[in-house]
Structure 1
Amino acid sequence: MDQDQVKQQFEELLTAKQLDLSAEQWERFELYYRELVDWNERMNLTAITDREQVFVKHFYDSISLSFYVPLQSIASMADIGSGAGFPSIPLKIMFPHLKVTIVDSLNKRIGFLNALVTRLGLSDVSCLHGRAEDVARKSEHRDQYDLVTARAVARLSVLNEFCLPFVKTGGLFAAMKGSDLPDELKEAKISLRELKGEVEASHQFELPVEHSTRHIVCIRKKAATPAKYPRKAGTPLKQPLV
């Protein structure tokens, strides 16, 4: 697929969801694609570099969060384990009012993200190098965000401990998952209880073109994070709350 065909397909997919793509937004996505492919030659950011696949499997998939969460009413957002900027950077391009904080444990990825944010001319995006468990202990991030996201980072029982400490009381954690969800939801009951989260909704949909299954689990934060969480860095992965 050439650039014009990809643009037409991308516009049509967004229009079907009542989202308009401005010329400036398209330019930013196109620049994002080029930067991603360029940096990917020097470091491992993504296994997907085909233009159409990047626009569907990364950009559209990231934006799909907005089909289920009213982003116009969200002011602050944290993206935990963002990797190459998904879902936060595509969401920031489409919803420029968002104040975004990205947390990633690999400094090379943060280097890419800082360069990308500058190249795209995005404001109110902060990229932090650190483990989620450590950053969530800092008062400026703990219980602070309207919305927290994580896309394909870990199982839900682990993600809850990574992400819910960042969410303000009454705020939302949206976990973007693949197809294996029922088992994860069962397994996550203890971590939800411990971290004051409650599943509000679970949405299933198919990605266009390739028709793979996706889930978005929306978890409402009911109370402040208990003092003992998150446990020290590495513990949630080694000893999940199950």
Structure 2
Amino acid sequence: MNEKQFMELLEEKGISLSSEQLQQFQTYYDTLVEWNEKMNLTAITDKEEVYEKHFFDSIMAAFSFDFSSDLHICDVGAGAGFPSLPIKICFPHLRVTIVDSLNKRIGFLEHLASELNLKGVSFCHDRAELFGKNKTYREQYDVVTARAVARMSVLGELCLPLVKPEGYFVALKGPNVEEELKAGKQAITLLGGKIEKIDKLSLPIEESERNIVTIKKIKSTPKKYPRKPGTPNKNPL
């Protein structure tokens, strides 16, 4: 996907990018490739692949969920900033908090945000399990996002404690989502969530399947969740 295709395909979905926003994506790509030489951020470095499999893939969440209002988003385990920072570039009014367990990645994200001149973004070096227990952050976010972090039974425990009641957890998943949701449905309910919808999409050129899962937080998460670091992964609910 070249830049022209990227812009036109987003335009078709009602997302118009200014020349400044297009430059931000170019700077994002340049910075990602530069830093990837000294630390492992992505296996994908070809420009057209990055634009489709990272940038466009992240923004596909906005084809399913409306990010146009004043929202505070928390992105759990964002790695190189996906999906929240491409979404933030498209919707500059959003407030974004990224939590990641690797301090080197936080360093990259802080540098990237400065290079992109992003306002209203903050970065926290922490384990999601500890972050979700912290009263400063627990149940404080309108929307929590996660992309390719863990299976749904684990993701629910990492993300739903951060969503405020009546807020949303938006998970960007691949093709095996129905199987994951079947295994994770009990956990999602226990943690206060209710599956609202699943939108099946596909990347426009590569055509691989994507699923955007929207979960509404209908009641507070019990205080004992999330459990201590490592437990959700080793022993999913």
Which bin holds the TM-score, normalised by the shorter protein? Answer: over 0.9
Structure 2 counterpart of 1:120, from 111, 116, 128: 116
* Structure 1 match to 2:229: 233
The CA distance in 1 between the partners of 2:87 and 2:189, in whole Å, is 29
Write the mapping of 1:55-70 to structure 2, written as runs, cut at 5 A. 55-70=51-66
Tell me the CA shift for residue 200 of structure 1.
Answer: 0.2
* Structure 2 match to 1:164: 160
**In structure 2, what residue type is equivalent to 1:34?**
D
Q: Percent identity?
A: 55
TM-score normalised by the chain length of structure 2: 0.98
1:135 aligns with 2:117: no
Tell me the CA shift for residue 7 of structure 1.
Answer: 1.8
CA offsets, 1:149-181, max 9 Å, x none? 000100000000000000000000001001111
Q: CA RMSD in A?
A: 0.9
1:32 aligns with 2:35: no
* Structure 1 match to 2:180: 184
* Structure 2 match to 1:80: 76
* Structure 1 match to 2:145: 149
| Aligned-partner SS, 2:169 | strand
Tell me the CA shift for residue 193 of structure 1.
Answer: 1.8
TM-score normalised by the chain length of structure 1: 0.96
Tell me the CA shift for residue 134 of structure 1.
Answer: 0.3
The CA distance in 2 between the partners of 1:237 and 1:173, in whole Å, is 19
Structure 2 counterpart of 1:42, from 38, 42, 53: 38
Moved more, 8-17 or 149-158: 8-17
Tell me the CA shift for residue 110 of structure 1.
Answer: 0.5
Q: Which runs of 5+ in 2 are unaligned?
A: none
* Structure 1 stretches of 4+ moved >4 Å: none
Count of residue correspondences: 237
**In structure 2, what residue type is equivalent to 1:209?**
I
* Structure 2 match to 1:106: 102
The CA distance in 2 between the partners of 1:143 and 1:193, in whole Å, is 16
Tell me the CA shift for residue 8 of structure 1.
Answer: 0.9
The CA distance in 1 between the partners of 2:184 and 2:147, in whole Å, is 16
1:92 aligns with 2:88: yes
* Structure 2 match to 1:71: 67
The CA distance in 2 between the partners of 1:100 and 1:181, in whole Å, is 26
Cα pair 1:74 1:146 within 8 Å, conserved:
no
| Aligned-partner SS, 1:45 | coil
* Structure 2 match to 1:52: 48
Tell me the CA shift for residue 73 of structure 1.
Answer: 2.1
Moved more, 6-15 or 51-60: 6-15
